[in-house]
């Protein structure tokens, strides 16, 4: 294992110290491992928080800031944050208008956010939850009941964050979150495994001449393995299941081609070109896009594709100003 670390046991704590030193727009509660906006939540504003296991950066901590999240809870690598962490983030961001929990559909995340919501309600904080479940690759997996929550989480956090920023109430913010959740789909693939620092070796074995289609962001098994092929065919195998699962034809869409952490940006742009050609041919009008590393799996090589059917409301919220380490425009 070759990594820029000191000790596997200290990776998260030391990474959070680096975040604290690097970004003046956030403050880090090191005891609870929560990244907050530097400024407190505006009175009367709905707070939007998320979190999950570390190793997916910039998700979630890199999306804390104006126009997006109010706080993010950092669990250990690929491990759900505890209810106490989530409670600290919930209570610490509530400004009287309630809190929305954005939760990826993994069993530990769902359970711990649910427990934290119950504890927060006992303290008088109203909490609503949206569970992101956009992965078309598998219906049930090693970590989930139902579909996994993956790339759509990034788009949802941006859009919902904008809705909260402009002053919508909690019910209206939840309505936007549900709309995004219903209209977005994702699919990913891997060229290599990832290596969790504490394990010191690859999570799974993937031969040099093989790829895995439908991989999860923790290295969970996908749909199948097959011999490595060209980018054009890989794009087809990611896009076709997305289009088969939801009616995008004739619609405008926001599209993300996301790197899993170990794939050069040049290859991601190449993949975007192939994905865009397939979507154009299918009658999907791509009006916005992201290309880069937004929800990763440590050092895994590979990519994922997310397609979100959009409309005037969602597009306006997408275009609204945002200032975070991971996304920034309009400010």
21-31 confidence digits (pLDDT tens): 999 999 999 99
- Please determine, for residue 139, whether its predicted confidence score (pLDDT) is greater than 80: no
Quick one: average pLDDT of 309-321? 98
- Provide the β-strand partners of residue 27: 36
pLDDT of residue 121: 98
161-200 burial code (b ≥16 CB/10 A, e <16): bbbbbeebebeebbebbebbbebbbbbbbbbbbbbbbeee
**Residues designated as active site:** 56, 218
- pLDDT tens, residue by residue, 254-273: 999 999 999 999 999 999 99
pLDDT of residue 141: 65
How far apart, in whole angstroms, are the C-alpha atoms of residue 327 and residue 320? 12
Going by pLDDT thresholds of 50, 70 and 90, the confidence category of residue 322 is: very high
If you average pLDDT over every residue of the chain, what do you get? Answer: 96
How far apart, in whole angstroms, are the C-alpha atoms of residue 100 and residue 89? 11
Q: CA-based Rg of the chain, rounded to a whole angstrom?
A: 19
- Please determine, for residue 292, whether its predicted confidence score (pLDDT) is greater than 90: yes
Let me know how long the chain is.
331
- Please determine, for residue 316, whether its predicted confidence score (pLDDT) is greater than 90: yes
pLDDT of residue 221: 78
Quick one: average pLDDT of 37-54? 98
Going by pLDDT thresholds of 50, 70 and 90, the confidence category of residue 138 is: confident
Quick one: average pLDDT of 301-330? 98
Going by pLDDT thresholds of 50, 70 and 90, the confidence category of residue 311 is: very high
pLDDT of residue 143: 64
- pLDDT tens, residue by residue, 153-169: 999 999 999 999 999 99
Task: Please state whether the peptide bond connecting residue 58 to the residue before it is cis, i.e. omega within 30 degrees of 0.
Answer: yes
- Please determine, for residue 142, whether its predicted confidence score (pLDDT) is greater than 80: no
User: Among 129, 130, 128, 146, which residue's Cα sits nearest to residue 138?
Assistant: 146
The answer to whether the CB of 322 falls within 8 A of the CB of 329 is yes
> What structural domains does the chain harbor?
10-183 (3.40.50.10440), 184-321 (3.30.1180.20)
């Amino acid at each position: 294992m070759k990594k820029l670390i000191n000790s596997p046991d200290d990776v998260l704590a030391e990474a959070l110290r680096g975040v604290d030193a690097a970004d003046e727009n956030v403050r880090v509660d090191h005891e609870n491992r929560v990244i907050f906006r530097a400024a407190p939540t505006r009175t009367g504003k709905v707070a939007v928080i998320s979190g999950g296991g570390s190793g997916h950066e910039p998700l979630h901590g890199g999306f804390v800031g104006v126009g997006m999240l109010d706080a993010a809870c950092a669990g250990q690598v690929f491990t759900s944050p505890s209810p106490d962490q989530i409670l600290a983030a919930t209570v610490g961001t509530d400004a009287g208008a309630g809190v929305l929990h954005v939760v990826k559909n993994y069993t530990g995340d769902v359970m711990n956010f649910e427990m934290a919501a119950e504890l927060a309600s006992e303290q008088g904080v109203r909490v609503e939850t949206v569970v992101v479940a956009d992965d078309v690759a598998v219906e049930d997996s090693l970590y989930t009941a139902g579909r996994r929550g993956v790339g759509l989480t990034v788009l949802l956090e941006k859009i919902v964050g904008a809705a909260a920023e402009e002053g919508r109430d909690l019910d209206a913010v939840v309505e936007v979150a549900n709309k995004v959740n219903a209209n977005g789909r994702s699919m990913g693939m891997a060229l290599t495994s990832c290596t969790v620092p504490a394990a010191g070796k690859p999570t799974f074995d993937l031969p040099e001449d093989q790829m895995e289609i439908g991989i999860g962001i923790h290295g969970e098994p996908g749909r199948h393995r097959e011999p490595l092929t060209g980018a054009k065919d890989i794009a087809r195998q990611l896009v076709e299941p997305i289009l088969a699962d939801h009616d995008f034809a004739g619609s405008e869409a926001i599209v993300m081609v996301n790197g899993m952490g170990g794939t050069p940006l040049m290859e991601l742009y190449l993949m975007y070109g192939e994905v865009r050609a397939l979507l154009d041919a299918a009658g999907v009008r791509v009006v916005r896009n992201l290309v880069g590393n937004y929800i990763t799996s440590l050092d895994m090589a590979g990519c994922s594709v997310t397609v979100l059917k959009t409309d005037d409301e969602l597009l306006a919220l997408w275009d609204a100003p945002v200032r975070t380490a991971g996304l920034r425009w309009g400010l």
